[in-house]
Amino acid sequence: MFYLIYNTISLFLVVPVVMYHLYRSVSRGRPPALAERFGFIPNDALQKISDRPVIWLHAVSVGESIAARPLLKNLRSRYPDHAILVSNTTETGRGVASGFPEIDLCIYFPFDFLPGVRRTLDLIQPAMVVIMETEIWPNFTREVRRRDIPVLLANGRISDRSFSGYLRFSWFFRHALQLFSRLCMQTDLDSQRITAIGAPADRVVTTGNLKYDIPFRQVHDDEKKRLRAIYAIPEDVIVITAASTHAGEEQHIISAFQTLLINCRDLFLVLVPRHPERSAEVSLLLERSGLPFRRRTTLMEGERLPEGTVLLVDTVGEMMNLYALSDIAFVGGSLVPTGGHNLLEPASRGVACLFGPHMSNFREIAALVLTYQAGLQVETPQELTEACRELIINRPLRLEYGRNGLKMMTENGGATSRHMEIIANYL
């Protein structure tokens, strides 16, 4: 009865969903790829996975794609005769995932309308489906299980903010949750929460966070110098990178940079909005500030920008290089109530990190960063300015934070191997 009602309602939602998707794609200057989202995948694309069993991993956007990278590398190594397909929901996620060499084919995840889901599964015929974090789509999950295909939830998490909503609609989510072959959750708390929502307790296991298994290393001076040349950044400046910023944060970051420049001219700011389509909006803020700035897409080979400049990054897929060339990193989505972003990325390059009070989506990671003294949490924009000033002046302190971050990465890995042990039971 649940699925009958769900699919009846879905029929009325087809047009609104398509219209919203078209608006979102056009407004962001990205192709809508509607055919693929209804299960029409080109034959030349399907040839890349033909005649091999397919492992299908779904990662919604950029963060999930990056978190999946250690798992993808291990799947490629352990199952060389399988094809690996990755699906994404967002265009930015697709842009990042399509650059991973471990992947044979990258597609858009189908809308959860029954004909499109069935057509996609008919074309791909996966041997296994792995869904990153917490993507719960009733039709997709049911159709996968109807074909006796194992479906695993990997790196699952239930944030503080979303838990009450999931509980309120547990009557909706439990139908799909009960179809998962295994649910691999990041923490014991996440395991308890997904069980409360309706997942069978005997299929839930705590496996740790895959994000701790991202490659980590100390960045040496030669590499830092090479990367700075690529991005037209002077060699002998202190680089502050403000990453994954959201509306309401950039103005505070720009003001902090202006204040810091009063007493220290050898600074450089790299500003990376979470959504590149907001670059025009951020450009206006920079113009009003009077600070010299350049967009990443306008840089020319061999160019060198002066100290005190802001590099506005209007591209995707370059974040790890930008962290590697930095001295200090502020991780956005945390000065505004967005829930924060991944602090492990700057830590994995030995960079001291700063973040704001709103870290509900990364509560475990934020707590670990503070425990290891790999970064500082600030409560206000004024505290952000003062924390940056302290790290600029105190080079030994920022280097110590960087070393502590690498130690944290060393001591908290292992989630990939635990996931692989479970996957091996189904392949």
Give the catalytic positions in this structure.
64
Determine the Cα–Cα distance for residues 29 and 277; give it in Å rounded to an integer: 8
Residue 143: CA count within 13 A, CB half-sphere = 21
Continuous segment of H or E residues that includes residue 401: helix 395-411
Q: Decide the pairing of beta strands 83-88 and 105-108.
A: parallel
Number of neighbouring beta carbons within 10 Å of residue 209: 23
Continuous segment of H or E residues that includes residue 263: helix 250-263
Continuous segment of H or E residues that includes residue 154: strand 151-156
Under 8 Å CB-to-CB from 337, ≥6 apart: which residues? 358
Taking alpha carbons only, the member of 349, 348, 345, 382 closest to residue 362 is: 345
Determine the Cα–Cα distance for residues 70 and 114; give it in Å rounded to an integer: 32
Continuous segment of H or E residues that includes residue 78: helix 62-78
Residue 350: CA count within 13 A, CB half-sphere = 13
Taking alpha carbons only, the member of 218, 327, 215, 225 closest to residue 270 is: 327
